[in-house]
């Protein structure tokens, strides 16, 4: 089935003729909303967004089902609302949270695999690039801490497990604000004295690499390329839900934005690329999922306008590989990558060539269960959805049956028994006999009869346990992965059985981590490095502790580092080197057969011949890191030797130059 382009079902005929603002448009382009060039570019951008939205919206129903299973509750119907109203303590239908437990187990492994300091590692290409690559790694490590990159990585990993794809956009972030500084001014006779005063100045508080998450529901990938070849596509975009105030702030601080003030003339600022829902009496656009998690002021809002007090606005950000001459924005006849932002489907608020050193779309995607061909692969949790539905049904049927059978099913004679007393729900109740039964116990004994109750769902509990086990096996998160040992059986759990189960689990989880490392982390690392080299304008101080500590100490000297308390002032020019990104192998601390390494280390320590051939210090550091120690280098003694002693040791071959040490892989 081909991609269905929904088109703009209700185009906004906005008249900007009575509105005029003076803007200095970039590259001498006339991008006034009233101009012909603006209309042409807008007409070329929107079909890309509509085509991508028509393709990805086919997955919304399946993704909504995943959201339902991860929410772990079901909205009560009228019958269950009545049950809760009569007795809030009675159980009602739920989503058995086994899919959620599997997702949490997989996510915990990925966090342990990638949340290691430093998160992104670099090596110099040539010997002269070694120190620069080390400093680049330190600077990017600082950026990750300052801008909380780990939180965005967490969201990307969670999306990749839930929906099959997780997107992030690496950006160069500048935080603008105010800082209080000291200013010295001459005072007194002939200016012999200085007076210190406090002044507030506006400027950049911090600049560095950061990530922005892209909601898979709002992503607009090129449907003609597989997800792992995202950079080979013709375009990539996403819908950003923001507001007019934020856009005005960007227009003030960021020279790339313009035309934002025209948005005050637009009544409905929501996007319509997902199509129009004609069945909705309130005239709503088809919404990804914002009807559930947000108010209807943005994506999926009513056509009548935005919220009462807020001014939400949907912005379509689109990277497009285009030929400038065909778009009337340049003379080149060869493809270039441009970034456009369209607000409210009607106003272009940003247009510029990317001009990034890495020449990539600044977007990275993680798809651990990709098949190599699909633009939107099926997620791991989607594969388990059928079993999850059966599990929910069996569990809820059992609860409903128990709730029903807890009440007595009685047949009684209202001529002999008081109906009000027998219908009372209280325990230890007194049932009064009506007058015809007074003094006649033989008749009263047969006045009440309880129907036999059979629990046909009793086996559902055992069957549910069986389904849970299959879900965990298929999802790659069995009991061993969840930290639970095998239960039952007369024999004890042997060490060989535990090790085999653990290694099998780690190999499956390691496969997921390796794929994500090659897909997303390698691209993010390349972009972070290129952005730092190209866009960094201010010096930054970094700490030298951690890996490569000895190399930096030898480069800068102990005396110099004592003055700066272990900090190094890194200039943008120090980072102009060639580098390679080192992708993690997907292992976690404690997962690389630590016990085997420990036994090997004991054997080497007792054998002088092995000590001559192997570096015992590096082996010990590897074992320590594998068991969870993050900064092994912090505990290594640093010896300061004199020049004569250094020259003597160098002649013996015990000391080598810095570049040679680095090339031996001190990491």
Give the DSSP per-residue string, 79-138.
HHHHHHHH-TTS------THHHHHHHHHHHHHHHHH-SSSSSEEEESSGGGHHHHHHHHH
What share of the chain has pLDDT > 70, as a percent? Answer: 75
Hey, which of 71-75, 348-352, 401-405, 654-658 has the most confident mean pLDDT? 348-352
Q: CA 415 to CA 435: how far, in whole Å?
A: 9
Q: Locate tokens 């030898």: which residue? A: 554
Give the closest residue to 549 by CA, choosing from 117, 111, 116, 113. 117
> Per the structure block, which two tokens stand in for 450?
């309880």
User: Strand 364-366 to strand 410-412: parallel, antiparallel, or no bridges (unpaired)?
Assistant: unpaired
- Give the residue, 329 or 312, on which the prediction is more confident: 329
**Least confident among 25-39, 85-99, 151-165, 387-401:** 85-99
Residue 269 neighbours by CB under 8 Å, 6+ apart = 244, 263, 306, 311, 312, 313, 314, 343, 344
Res. 145: pLDDT tops 70: yes
Is-contact 568 542, C-beta < 8 A?
Answer: yes
pLDDT tens sequence across 204-238: 788 999 999 999 999 999 999 999 999 999 999 99
pLDDT tens sequence across 356-379: 999 999 999 999 999 999 999 999
pLDDT tens sequence across 247-271: 998 898 878 899 999 998 888 888 8
User: Strand 312-322 to strand 235-243: parallel, antiparallel, or no bridges (unpaired)?
Assistant: antiparallel
pLDDT confidence of residue 6: 46
Is-contact 545 631, C-beta < 8 A?
Answer: yes
Is-contact 388 475, C-beta < 8 A?
Answer: no
Helix (H) or strand (E) holding 313: strand 312-322
Maximum distance among all Cα pairs of the chain, rounded to whole angstroms = 124
- Give the residue, 109 or 640, on which the prediction is more confident: 109
pLDDT tens sequence across 293-322: 554 444 544 443 445 566 789 999 999 999
Res. 288: pLDDT tops 90: no
Q: CA 548 to CA 662: how far, in whole Å?
A: 8
658 pLDDT tier (thresholds 50, 70, 90)? very low
Give the closest residue to 50 by CA, choosing from 226, 210, 184, 220. 220
| Cα–Cα separations (whole angstroms), residue 192 to 185, 197, 410, 436, 647 | 10, 16, 105, 119, 52
Res. 56: pLDDT tops 70: yes
pLDDT tens sequence across 406-440: 666 778 788 788 888 777 766 667 788 888 878 78
- CB half-sphere exposure, 201, CA atoms < 13 A: 9
- Give the residue, 554 or 239, on which the prediction is more confident: 239
Residue 439 neighbours by CB under 8 Å, 6+ apart = none
DSSP assignment string, 318-346: EEEEE-HHHHTS-S--S-EEEEEEEETTT
DSSP assignment string, 649-663: HHHHTS---HHHHHH
Q: CA 407 to CA 73: how far, in whole Å?
A: 25
- Give the residue, 481 or 364, on which the prediction is more confident: 364
Res. 157: pLDDT tops 70: yes
349 pLDDT tier (thresholds 50, 70, 90)? very high
Hey, which of 139-143, 183-187, 425-429 has the most confident mean pLDDT? 139-143
- CB half-sphere exposure, 335, CA atoms < 13 A: 11
> Per the structure block, which two tokens stand in for 508?
């499956």
| Cα–Cα separations (whole angstroms), residue 499 to 59, 446, 505 | 40, 66, 10
Angle formed at CA 213 by CA 208 and CA 216, multiple of 5 degrees = 160
475 pLDDT tier (thresholds 50, 70, 90)? confident
pLDDT confidence of residue 549: 62
Residue 158 neighbours by CB under 8 Å, 6+ apart = 103, 107, 166
Q: Locate tokens 């007795």: which residue? A: 87
């Amino acid at each position: 089935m081909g991609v269905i382009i929904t088109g703009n079902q209700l185009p906004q005929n906005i008249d900007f003729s009575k509105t005029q603002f003076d803007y200095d448009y970039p590259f001498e382009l006339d991008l006034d909303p009233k101009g012909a060039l603006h209309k042409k570019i807008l007409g070329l951008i929107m079909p890309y967004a509509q085509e991508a939205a028509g393709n990805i919206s086919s997955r919304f129903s399946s993704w909504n089902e995943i959201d339902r299973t991860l929410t772990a509750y079901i909205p009560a119907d009228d019958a269950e609302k009545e049950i809760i109203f009569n007795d809030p303590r009675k159980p009602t239908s739920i989503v058995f949270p086994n899919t959620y437990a599997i997702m949490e187990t997989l996510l915990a492994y990925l966090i342990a695999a990638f949340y290691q300091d430093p998160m992104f590692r670099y090596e110099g290409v040539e010997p002269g690039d070694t120190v620069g690559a080390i400093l680049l790694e330190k600077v990017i490590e600082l950026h990750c801490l300052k801008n909380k990159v780990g939180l965005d990585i967490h969201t990307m990993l969670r999306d990749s497990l839930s929906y099959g794809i997780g997107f992030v956009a690496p950006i160069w972030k500048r935080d603008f604000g105010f800082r209080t500084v000291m200013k010295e001014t001459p005072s007194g006779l002939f200016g012999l004295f200085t007076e210190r005063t406090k002044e507030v100045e506006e400027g950049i508080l911090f600049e560095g690499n950061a990530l922005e998450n892209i909601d898979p529901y709002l992503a607009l990938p090129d449907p003609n390329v597989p997800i792992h070849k995202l950079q080979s596509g013709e375009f990539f975009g996403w819908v950003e839900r923001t507001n007019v105030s934020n856009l005005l702030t960007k227009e003030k601080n960021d020279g790339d934005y313009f035309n934002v003030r025209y948005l005050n003339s637009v009544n409905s600022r929501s996007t319509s690329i997902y199509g129009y829902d004609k069945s909705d009496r309130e005239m709503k656009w088809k919404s990804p999922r914002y009807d559930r998690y947000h108010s209807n002021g943005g994506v999926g809002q009513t056509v009548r306008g935005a919220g009462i007090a807020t001014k939400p606005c949907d912005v379509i950000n689109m990277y497009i590989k285009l030929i400038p001459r065909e778009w009337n924005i340049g003379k080149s006849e060869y493809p270039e990558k441009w970034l456009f932002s369209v607000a409210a489907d009607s106003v272009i608020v940003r247009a510029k060539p990317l001009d990034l050193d890495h020449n990539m779309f600044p977007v990275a995607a993680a798809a651990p269960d990709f098949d190599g061909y699909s633009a939107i692969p099926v997620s791991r949790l989607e594969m388990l959805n059928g079993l999850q539905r059966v599990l929910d049904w069996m569990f809820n049927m059992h609860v409903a049956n128990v709730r029903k059978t807890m009440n007595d099913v009685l047949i009684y004679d209202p001529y002999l028994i008081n109906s009000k007393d027998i219908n009372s729900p209280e325990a230890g109740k007194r049932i009064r006999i009506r007058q015809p039964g007074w003094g006649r116990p033989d008749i009263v004994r047969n006045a009440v009869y309880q129907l036999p109750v059979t629990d046909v769902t009793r086996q559902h509990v055992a069957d549910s346990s069986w389904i849970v086990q299959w879900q965990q096996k298929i999802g790659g998160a069995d009991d061993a992965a969840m930290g639970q040992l095998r239960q039952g059986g007369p024999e004890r759990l042997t060490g060989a059985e535990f090790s085999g189960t653990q290694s099998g689990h780690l190999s499956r989880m390691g496969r997921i981590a390796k794929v994500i490392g090659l897909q997303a982390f390698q691209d993010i690392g390349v972009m972070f490095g290129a952005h730092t080299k190209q866009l960094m304008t201010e010096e930054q101080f970094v700490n030298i502790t951690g890996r490569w500590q000895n190399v930096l100490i030898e480069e800068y000297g102990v005396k110099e580092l004592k003055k700066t308390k272990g900090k190094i002032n890194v200039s943008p020019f120090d980072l102009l080197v060639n580098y390679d990104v080192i992708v993690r192998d997907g292992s976690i601390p404690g997962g690389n057969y630590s016990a085997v390494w420990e036994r090997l280390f004991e054997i080497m320590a007792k054998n002088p011949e092995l000590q001559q051939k192997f570096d015992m210090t590096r082996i010990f550091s590897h074992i320590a890191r594998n068991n969870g120690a993050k900064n092994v280098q912090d505990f290594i003694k640093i010896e300061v030797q004199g020049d004569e002693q250094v020259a003597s040791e160098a002649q013996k071959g015990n000391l080598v130059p810095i570049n040679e040490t680095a090339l031996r892989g001190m990491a």
